[in-house]
Amino acid sequence: MPVIKHPRLIDPPFHEWDRKAQKCGLRHTVYAVNGDQYTGEWQDNLKHGKGTQIWKNTGAIYSGDWKFGKRDGYGSYSVPDPVTKEYRKMYTGWWQNDRRGGRGMYFYSNGERYDGEWKKGLRSGWGKMHYKDGSVYEGQWLKDKPNGHGVLRLPNGNRYEGGWKEGKKHGPGKYFYPEKGQLLEGTWVADIPKCGALVDFERDNAAAPTEFPLPEIELHDPAAVLAEARAMFDDSKN
């Protein structure tokens, strides 16, 4: 009986090329068309796991966790100094959906730094900000501005404790003057104290107290004051 030989089916070459192009698992450096490069883990042709990305245009480097093509998890972001060309760390902390999210520390180019919570790339939650003039704010943030309750400490030793709204002192608060031994307690609106009382506070320990202590404020019962006023009015009629 004759043997019939059938030709072996061979897949077209592009099938093999396509299989090799799909990135999954640990790979060496992969270069993008625009010159960006990534070294790390992949899943389903997306950056996923641990990896390092270098952007050609800016020279910036991100090293940390990835999730389906986006920075997600813990990682650090650094940029080259325009003068020395040495890398300077800008942010280290948690990321969510390719933006700063969670707890992290950000180093600004002017020397300021923020250590606290982030949401969608903005300072939101509880955090501590060190300003270049030496001031320090610690408290609540919302959409990159102090908002809620917080404490601002100034380089001269003065401090404000109280409410904030959109980056300005707002609501009930206390402003301490340790050098003079005084305290202003009142209500602020858009950074301006609208009403309050100035009293002595730890005056004996102050470095430069006022010459004379402030007189104590005597609080009276409103009903008693009204009754006294009526009595004086009645006496004047007689």
What does each C-alpha distance from 100 to 53, 75, 97, 173 come to in angstroms? 16, 10, 8, 31
List pLDDT tens digits, range 17-30.
445 556 666 777 89
Q: Does domain 145-233 have CATH number 2.20.110?
A: yes
Percentage of the chain exceeding pLDDT 90: 62
pLDDT at 84: 87
pLDDT of 215 strictly over 80: no
pLDDT class for 114, splitting at 50, 70, 90? very high
pLDDT at 200: 77
Q: Average the pLDDT over 145-166 and give the result.
A: 97
Q: Which own/partner contact pairs does 121-129 have at CB distance under 8 Å and 24+ positions apart?
A: none
Tokens of 234: 């009645």
| Cα 54 from chain centroid (whole Å) | 25
Pick the CATH number of 19-107 from 3.30.420, 1.20.120, 2.20.110, 2.60.120: 2.20.110
User: According to CATH, where is 2.20.110 located in the chain?
Assistant: 19-107, 145-233
pLDDT at 8: 61
Report the predicted TM-score, pTM, of the whole model to 2 decimal places: 0.77
pLDDT of 16 strictly over 90: no
68 burial type by CB count under 10 A (0-12 exposed, 13-18 middle, 19+ buried) = exposed
Segment among 133-147, 166-180, 194-208 with least mean pLDDT: 194-208
Q: Which amino acid is at 14?
A: F
Question: Which residues on neighbouring strands pair with residue 66, listed in sequence order?
Answer: 49, 71
